[in-house]
């Protein structure tokens, strides 16, 4: 999910009709104004959708509080873990959610589900869902080894801020001292991103190996899920159509 240098972020800050998206390109950003709080609805007056390098993920910002702490990822196997995540995952077509302090990343089930259909439901779910509980302190985690701590320091300083700007995150799963392999799991918009392998090798691996010479390579811990029923060329054409607001073929 590499950023590939400076590029404009697709964002539309124009006026929007209350509760309706301002007209934008299909995979790009949109702005919602939900108006005053009503029964069961907090006073969320603005929600912004930002496109990411992953055509199946949007980064969402809103003027409501999200829980502090590191980003947390949810899918349908984590039902009941977080009320906001549950509300978003209840939307048909949403398969994964990552909640961070400043934003939420929503991942859809593929290009056959249009963002224009999902955005209103996402906006109202964010406005209506109860506050997420603060992460509970569980059993103390096992202390990291020296190399693992160095890798975490590199991720925190150089990698995670870059990924967060595109709605993603990276977690160190383990370090294998026998061959110097660091296993990293890509989350949020980074999971399943078409450019994820470039980010992993040219961004994450280069950063870690530069500062932690004991690491010889970085591999993805969990293969990115792909819908094998979707032809790669059709997926690419759908991404181009969404990006530039063109009609989809077929």
For the CA atoms of the chain, what is the radius of gyration?
19
SS (H, E, C) 10-55: CCCCCCCCECCCCCCCCCCCEEEECCCCCCCCCCCCCEEEEECCCC
Domain range list for the chain: 146-220
CA distance 8 to 189: 18
HSE (side-chain half, CA atoms, 13 Å) at 182:
29
pTM above 0.75, yes or no: no
The two three-digit tokens of residue 11, written as one number? 């964002």
CA distance 127 to 35: 11
CATH 2.60.120.10 fits 146-220, yes or no: no
Calculate the dihedral angle through the C-alpha atoms of 6, 8, 9, 15, rounding to the nearest 10 degrees.
160
Q: Mind listing the pLDDT tens digit of every residue in the chain (250 residues)?
A: 544 433 333 333 333 323 444 334 445 556 655 554 444 445 555 889 999 999 999 999 998 888 888 999 999 998 788 999 999 999 999 999 999 999 999 999 999 999 999 999 999 999 888 887 766 554 556 788 999 999 999 999 999 999 999 999 999 999 999 999 999 999 999 998 988 888 999 899 999 999 999 999 999 997 443 443 445 556 566 666 666 666 655 5
């Amino acid at each position: 999910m590499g950023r590939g240098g400076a590029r404009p972020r697709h964002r539309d800050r124009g006026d929007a009709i209350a509760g309706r998206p301002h007209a934008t390109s299909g995979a790009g950003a949109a702005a919602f104004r939900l108006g005053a709080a009503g029964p069961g609805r907090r006073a969320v007056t603005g929600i912004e959708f930002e496109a990411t390098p992953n055509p199946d993920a949007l980064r969402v910002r809103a003027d409501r509080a999200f829980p502090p702490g590191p980003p947390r990822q949810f899918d349908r196997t984590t039902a009941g873990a977080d009320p906001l995540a549950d509300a978003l995952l209840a939307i048909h077509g949403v398969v994964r959610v990552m909640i961070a302090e400043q934003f939420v990343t929503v991942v859809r089930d593929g290009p056959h589900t249009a963002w224009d259909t999902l955005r209103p439901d996402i906006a109202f779910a964010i406005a209506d869902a109860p506050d997420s509980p603060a992460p509970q302190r569980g059993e103390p985690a096992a202390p990291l080894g020296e190399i693992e701590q160095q890798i975490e320091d590199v991720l925190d300083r150089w990698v995670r801020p870059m990924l967060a700007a595109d709605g993603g995150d990276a977690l160190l799963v383990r370090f294998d001292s026998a061959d110097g392999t660091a296993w990293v799991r890509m989350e949020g918009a980074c999971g399943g991103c078409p450019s994820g392998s470039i980010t992993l090798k040219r961004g994450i691996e280069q950063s870690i190996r530069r500062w932690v010479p004991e690491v010889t390579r970085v591999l993805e811990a969990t293969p990115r899920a792909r819908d094998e029923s979707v032809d790669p060329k059709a997926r690419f054409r759908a991404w181009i159509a969404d990006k530039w607001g063109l009609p989809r073929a077929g």
